[in-house]
Chains A and B, each alone.
Chain A
């Protein structure tokens, strides 16, 4: 067991960074430097944790760095963090996302409040991924709404007020069901062990004995909250407008990171805690996921602007992740966790490039662009790499995860996998078509004079491209860390599921 200090630091460092950024705000640009420094430290911490976790896997225990302090016994509130392979990947993604989001938002470096909110969001997201206690998870999960709300409502585009409200109200309503579910589960556990204190510890609650009916209801209440967050069709209606209206960094945080809170929660809590409900609920959720894949792909073809385009393609990708998470197959679940990470990287890439274009042209409407390839070849090349990864071209990271999901799901739920495979084809259609419309053809007017990516912008995208290629060619180190954790989770739910 490693000390939990590392995880505490992961949560506290961005908090302190946000505080520092807010305090130095009087000096121009200083807050931005503080924020970037903080996120570099955060990234380093995440990598240290990743390395420390490595030698731990051999001992075949999956959770590490665990600690638990009861904060309030009457409330059952405790600070309880732990990390396994699944959360490890999310932690690295969180650190990476904030670093790249900050670097990509250089034009906002004069606004200390902006970077402070970003760092706060990072801390809360870290907390959600690290929480090993349902109540603590819920608190962090809810907390992420506040910075996100302010990021959209203050720095968003024209309809930012509407977008921010819609985002907040949808997620807040969804999490109402989650809170009631958590409370019900906590008290069910307490009543079973008479005399025991109220606790929401994940390990304690996973031992709760429940009837099939109870599990189904609880699964529904949990899944609803996560379905809104992810989003899973038909709970996605808040996401296109929120992604489109948010500032670039906000879109990155929401789609690359916060969306993963939904699928992570689905896997860790809904699937992990209610195995009996799975046989009943699987057809429903798998069907929604499959519909989401096709529906997202279809709308991505029709959508007028680039950010909504990524929003709908994300809806399809979240459908893939949900498919893997719910399939009950170990291979597909590993693929889903990997896709959470890969989709994060790909989306960061997309939104950064779109942000660069938006900064140059002040527009994200697809019809405003044509032939950007001519004046901006480097931008076009970078976009191509990201796009090909999203399509699932072998050798790039998207392929590995989608492939794992599809073969795993095919073994357990063949028909859904067949339908989902059409999604892969559809992705190629909408992505290539969008690429053609924006980058091919003859550039005229403002498009012809579009400046290419500056060296600074190129450097921001380097980590994205490197990760896309490396994880496409050599995903083994990552898979090695995820697999034992997923295996344990699947084995826990195995009696009711298909274990292949």
Chain B
């Protein structure tokens, strides 16, 4: 038997290669260099890699504009505007996280470069997920993404909660991966392929008389994804992990995992299983109702802001799923728009949480935020804007993100679902506002001033600027998301 190496279009996989490459360079450098690799070198490497990846994205965009979407490596990897936009946002989140983590590492006196190596490797996994056109490749991306994060969550060796969270994340994440791969195997059994295009073709040209295998496989895949995006009832790990992980890691997790997992989920459900829309929609319906309502309701009783943000991100996951539920171009574009706008906001929010956390990363009770905006109007105001954006107030991207997914759902005939989700947003508003109110309360006016390091400050400013600029003027981003999805739909 002769093994044929499939042809490789390197431009397609260049971003993934850059991230992996940079990660390897750092590994080698830390092994070969005589002393320790300085933190600033490591941070610069991460930023340079991410910037390079974004530059490559621009070239990729041109390539797609000229030649259309394409697949490579035996149709396992796809290059289309959808993946390009998603990878761009992942790279952006990595840059933002790296800068925040730099200041954090300086504060915590961490000198190793392991954080950067793992962050780069994880992000490479997320990038791979956005481009995956094969269940195996999605699994590969998922694992690369997760394994790095398992270690990153445990990164804070001084705190027991960090290790505890990592173990929890590792065990449940392992289960999720196993469930996912089992689902992939069943789908392979039902359709004869793991390639998304082939699955779609098979289901489009054949009538599945005994769909049990397919349904079971699809359901397991969905459960695997639900674990990763923390959809209720598969969310139990998320508050503990969000709380236990070092705060910059939480920010990274909240952003890149969502982008990667949702990009892959859309490809699986819409491109591969699009013909089975009527089957997976009711499941997703239940999932969304639970995720939005439970996420918002449980956030109400939290006093720890990281747990609160965990439940808030569960609520957001429910909203993002709305766009998937719609199953239309509009829905996919809305999902993309949502994750693209959500990622920078959530990284910037966690950047502020990192600052307030203080040395030891421990001040995460809502009491620590009291009077912040009175003492430091810029920092407090920035957090207030970010919270309003997460709440979905107009003039922020959060509003248009919610608007876009809701519009797609109403368009697809899901008015009731949209209404349930929006009511959950009203519940969620309660705790965002409680937090915002704490910022402007008159207590603790004499608390110590929070020092804002330059890079973290820039990241926060950037996140706020992004949410306001595109909140006032969402046109270009909306068009971009729409455009990216038109080419992607098979």
Within B421-455, the residues touching A (CB, 8 Å) are 422-423, 425-426, 429-430, 433-434, 437, 440-441
A168-192 Cβ-contact flags toward B at 8 Å (1 or 0):
1100110011011001101100000
- State the CA gap A142–B391 with chains docked (Å): 12
**What residues on A are CB-neighbors of B429 within 8 Å?**
168-169, 172
**What residues on A are CB-neighbors of B474 within 8 Å?**
71-72, 75, 77
> Within 8 Å of chain A (Cβ to Cβ): is B234?
no
Pick the residue among B406, B411, B440, B441 that contacts A179 (CB under 8 A): B406
Q: Residues of B at under 8 Å CB distance from A?
A: 330, 333, 388, 393-395, 399-400, 403-404, 406-407, 410-411, 415, 418-419, 422-423, 425-426, 429-430, 433-434, 437, 440-441, 473-475, 478-479, 481-482
> Within 8 Å of chain B (Cβ to Cβ): is A153?
yes
**What residues on A are CB-neighbors of B425 within 8 Å?**
172, 176
CB distance from A219 to the nearest CB of B (A): 14
**What residues on B are CB-neighbors of A73 within 8 Å?**
479
- State the CA gap A176–B425 with chains docked (Å): 9
- State the CA gap A143–B406 with chains docked (Å): 18
Q: A75-B474, A169-B430 are in contact. Are A183 and B394 (CB under 8 A)?
A: no
Q: A77-B475, A142-B394, A143-B395 are in contact. Are A153 and B426 (CB under 8 A)?
A: no
17 CB-based A-B contacts, threshold 8 Å: A72-B479, A75-B400, A75-B407, A77-B475, A146-B393, A165-B430, A165-B437, A169-B430, A172-B429, A176-B419, A176-B423, A179-B403, A179-B422, A180-B406, A180-B422, A184-B415, A198-B407
6 tightest CB-CB pairs across the interface, nearest first? A176-B422, A72-B475, A183-B410, A173-B426, A74-B482, A139-B394
CB distance from B335 to the nearest CB of A (A): 13
- State the CA gap A173–B421 with chains docked (Å): 11
Pick the residue among B404, B423, B437 that contacts A75 (CB under 8 A): B404
**What residues on A are CB-neighbors of B415 within 8 Å?**
180, 184
**What residues on A are CB-neighbors of B441 within 8 Å?**
161
Give the residue name and chain of the A residue nearest to B483 (CB): A74
* B423/A173 in contact, CB under 8 A: yes
Give the residue name and chain of the B residue nearest to A187 (CB): B411
* A180/B478 in contact, CB under 8 A: no
> Within 8 Å of chain B (Cβ to Cβ): is A412?
no
- State the CA gap A183–B414 with chains docked (Å): 11
* A177/B419 in contact, CB under 8 A: yes
* B437/A161 in contact, CB under 8 A: yes
* B395/A74 in contact, CB under 8 A: no
Pick the residue among A146, A165, A186 that contacts B434 (CB under 8 A): A165
> Within 8 Å of chain B (Cβ to Cβ): is A154?
yes
Give the residue name and chain of the A residue nearest to B481 (CB): A74
In the complex, besides A74-B481, A146-B388, 4 extra interface pairs with C-beta distance below 8 angstroms are A76-B407, A77-B475, A150-B440, A177-B419
**What residues on B are CB-neighbors of A176 within 8 Å?**
419, 422-423, 425-426
* B410/A187 in contact, CB under 8 A: yes
**What residues on B are CB-neighbors of A153 within 8 Å?**
437, 440
* A169/B426 in contact, CB under 8 A: yes
Pick the residue among B393, B410, B422 that contacts A143 (CB under 8 A): B393
Interface size on A, residues (CB 8 A): 33
> Within 8 Å of chain B (Cβ to Cβ): is A318?
no
- State the CA gap A187–B437 with chains docked (Å): 37
- State the CA gap A71–B473 with chains docked (Å): 8
* B479/A74 in contact, CB under 8 A: yes
> Within 8 Å of chain B (Cβ to Cβ): is A164?
yes
**What residues on B are CB-neighbors of A183 within 8 Å?**
406-407, 410-411, 418
> Within 8 Å of chain B (Cβ to Cβ): is A416?
no
CB distance from A241 to the nearest CB of B (A): 16
**What residues on A are CB-neighbors of B330 within 8 Å?**
74
> Within 8 Å of chain B (Cβ to Cβ): is A149?
yes
CB distance from B165 to the nearest CB of A (A): 32
- State the CA gap A150–B411 with chains docked (Å): 35
**What residues on B are CB-neighbors of A164 within 8 Å?**
433, 437
* A143/B437 in contact, CB under 8 A: no
* B419/A165 in contact, CB under 8 A: no
* B393/A142 in contact, CB under 8 A: yes
* B478/A154 in contact, CB under 8 A: no
**What residues on A are CB-neighbors of B440 within 8 Å?**
150, 153-154
- State the CA gap A76–B474 with chains docked (Å): 11
- State the CA gap A309–B85 with chains docked (Å): 56
- State the CA gap A183–B405 with chains docked (Å): 11
Within A103-146, the residues touching B (CB, 8 Å) are 139-140, 142-143, 145-146
**What residues on A are CB-neighbors of B399 within 8 Å?**
139, 142
* B410/A180 in contact, CB under 8 A: yes
CB distance from A173 to the nearest CB of B (A): 4
CB distance from B415 to the nearest CB of A (A): 6
**What residues on B are CB-neighbors of A139 within 8 Å?**
394-395, 399
**What residues on B are CB-neighbors of A168 within 8 Å?**
429, 433
- State the CA gap A71–B403 with chains docked (Å): 15
Q: Which of A146, A154, A176 has the most CB of B within 10 A?
A: A176
CB distance from A417 to the nearest CB of B (A): 35
* A180/B403 in contact, CB under 8 A: no
Give the residue name and chain of the B residue nearest to A198 (CB): B407
- State the CA gap A164–B481 with chains docked (Å): 36
A56-75 Cβ-contact flags toward B at 8 Å (1 or 0):
00000000000000011111
